[in-house]
A and B are shown apart, each in its own frame.
Chain A
Amino acid sequence: MKLGGATAGALLHQAALAVNAGMANYVACIFGDSAATGGVRFDRASGWGDSLAIWGFMAACANSAISAARHMALYGTTSRQLGEIAVACRKHASMNPNAVMRKPITLEDHQESRWIVKPLHLLDCCLISDGGVCVIVTTAERARDLKQPLVLISVWGRLIRRAIWSGRTGGTCRTKKLAVNDAYQMAGVGPKDIDVCQLYDNFTSSVLLWFEHAGFCKVGESGPFVEGGRIQLGGELPINTAGGNLSESYMEGWLHIVEGARQMRSECGERQGQGRRGVPGHRTGRCAQHVERDDLAERMIMAEYKKPLPNITDENRGFWEGCKQGRLQLQKCGACGHIRYPISHVCPECLSYEFAWTPLSGRGEVFSYVVFHQLYNKAFAEDVPYNVALVQLEEGTPPL
């Protein structure tokens, strides 16, 4: 199963169902990756349908960066507040002999680290690592006869495949909130009952949003919430006590589960959190992007142009033909008048097939923007640093 950073949670979920349904007695959930020696750069194009790489928008970092920029613009969140998360995770990693990055950092180190995709610095980004992780699951009944202290899974949230990266919605994400609320309801606990948190930290800004989605603070208040040592061991709500993706190792959230179990067993020595009521492992994930590749013959061939080009299909041809003529146009539903974006042959509102390509005003407002400092694609070498903005069109489509 591949659900990106959500996979660890999804597999545990499935293992839990399997052991309780009697399909298996003991299920091993295993992850292995050699991303560091394999040279994986997490630089894939983002977007749906036609890849946003056409506009220079690529890499996992950009999605989080554009979300962070929106959060900063709306709520006054600062880069130093993001730095608080990086500093806390590194401090905890320094107490973990298995962590990759163990040398403590300061907020100043964070601020001075180079830009990757502004507003995210190098120290806002997780590591890229080789490693393997395994978690063995069984029923509570069988577990009582085994050697380790009992660690029960109280709850899990629903799994929701999202059509788009939440990052691009610029903060609140309905599906994450639903998942956490499910979990609270199933466990009969709330944010105030949680002692230690293992939160998915592909980038520092993701962690900020988890505090809001999980109800630890109000929407927009996560920046000040993380200040003053609150999220460090010894504080009110320590997070990622082994160092997280940011400093322990990037095992896509699997080590968060391992650390959660070890915290519940109270075997973490100097990095042991206080209280044992609950350790939620929150997962975030994304869906695979479908890029139509069946019409390669139709690709625009431009010998001089080295940047990524769109894959033109019957479905999106109207959009690109409009661009060629200097016209921004999208499909207007023939039945209900809804303007479709992403491009689709079926209306997401009324399921009608009817549509007409309709010119848009071209007016809108900047929803969020980032500055690419990191070079992910050589074709953009002369452009770095360059801006990419998301624009909310006045017609009300999702930002594009």
Chain B
Amino acid sequence: MHPLRDKTAIVGVGASPQGKIPGSTALSLAVEAFKRALDDSGLKKNQIDGLLTFPGTTRRKRATTSCASAKRSASIRATRVA
């Protein structure tokens, strides 16, 4: 059996409202999803010590943001694993 089989778990999932959301940015939506996933998991923000992000497709300057800054915005002290 593969040594990593069944060794990893998804413990929290969260999604922001979806669709066309005027006034939102990729960052604000990412942070909302993060809050909801934390609530779902029962974990506290400062227990999260790894962060992996995908900044999406939005290229417009105004809306463009790297999800990595979600970390700062949510003041997570994170070990950057990627």
- Number of residues from B at the complex interface, CB < 8 A: 63
Contact partners of B82 in chain A: CB under 8 A? 1, 11, 14, 18
CB pair A23 B41 closer than 8 Å: no
Q: Which residues of A contact B (CB under 8 A)?
A: 1-2, 7-8, 11, 14-20, 23-40, 42, 98-100, 129-140, 142-143, 146-148, 150-155, 185-188, 248-249, 251-252, 254-255, 257-258, 261-262
Please, which residues of chain A bring their CB within 8 A of the CB of B7? 16, 20, 139-140, 152
Bound CA span A42–B56, Å = 12
- Chain B residues, CB < 8 A from A37: 20-24, 63
Q: Which A residue's beta carbon lies closest to that of B82?
A: A14
CB <8 Å contact, A2 and B55: yes
Say whether A99 contacts B18, CB under 8 Å: yes
Q: What residues of chain B have their CB less than 8 Å away from a CB belonging to chain A?
A: 1-2, 4-34, 36-38, 40-43, 47-60, 63-65, 67, 70, 76, 79, 81-82
Bound-complex Cα distance A137 to B7 (A): 11
Complex: how many Å from CA A11 to CA B56?
A: 13
- Taken together as a complex, chains A and B put the C-alpha atoms of A133 and B37 apart, in Å, by 8
Interchain CB contact under 8 A, B8 and A137: yes
Which residues of the other chain, B, contact A40 by a CB distance below 8 angstroms? 57-59
19 contacts between A and B (CB under 8 A): A16-B8, A23-B50, A30-B70, A32-B30, A33-B56, A34-B58, A37-B63, A132-B15, A132-B29, A132-B34, A134-B30, A136-B12, A139-B8, A148-B11, A148-B42, A155-B5, A252-B56, A252-B57, A255-B15
Which are the 8 A-B pairs with shortest beta-carbon distances? A32-B30, A33-B56, A24-B50, A132-B29, A143-B9, A27-B50, A132-B33, A249-B18
Given contacts A28-B51, A34-B24, A146-B41, contact A132 B31 (CB under 8 A): yes
Interface of A is mostly: mixed
B33 touches A133 (CB 8 A): yes
* Of B24, B43, B54, B65, the contact of A7 (CB 8 Å cutoff): B54
Looking at the assembled complex, report how far the CB atom of A122 sits from the nearest CB atom of chain B, in whole angstroms: 17
Give, as a whole number of angstroms, the nearest-CB distance from A135 to chain B.
Answer: 6
CB distance from B44 to the nearest CB of A (A): 10
Known: A28-B52, A30-B51. A152 touches B6 (CB 8 A): yes
B46 CB to closest chain A CB (Å) equals 10
> Residue B19 contacts which of A19, A100, A147, A188 (CB distance < 8 angstroms)?
A100
Known: A16-B8, A32-B67, A140-B8. 9 other contacts (CB 8 A): A20-B7, A27-B50, A33-B26, A34-B25, A34-B29, A132-B30, A133-B16, A146-B42, A151-B9
- Which chain B residues lie closer than 8 Å to A155 at the CB level? 2, 5
C-alpha gap A40/B23 in the complex (Å)? 16
Distance in angstroms between the alpha carbons of A98 and B19 in the assembled complex = 9
Asked if A33 contacts B5 (CB within 8 A), the reply is no
Establish whether residues B79 and A134, one from each chain, have CB atoms under 8 Å apart when the complex forms: no
How many whole Å from A202's CB to the nearest CB in chain B?
12
> For A24, what are the chain B residues with a Cβ–Cβ distance below 8 Å?
49-50, 79, 81
- A148 adjacent to B40 (CB under 8 Å): yes
Cβ contact within 8 Å between A32 and B70: yes
Q: Which of B26, B37, B48 contacts A32 (CB 8 A)?
A: B26
**B10 engages A31 (CB within 8 Å):** no
CB-CB under 8 A from A17, the residues of chain B are 4
Alpha-carbon separation in the docked complex, A136 to B52 (Å)? 10
Bound-complex Cα distance A72 to B21 (A)? 38
- Within 8 Å by CB of A133, from B4, B15, B41, B50, lies B15
User: Taking the nearest CB of chain B, how far is it from the CB of A1, in angstroms?
Assistant: 6
Question: Given the interface contacts A16-B4, A132-B33, does A34 sit within 8 Å of B11 by beta carbon?
Answer: no
In Å, the complex CA distance between A327 and B58 comes to 40
CB of A26 within 8 A of CB of B56, answer: no
Contact status A28-B37, CB under 8 Å: yes
B5 to chain A, nearest CB (A): 6
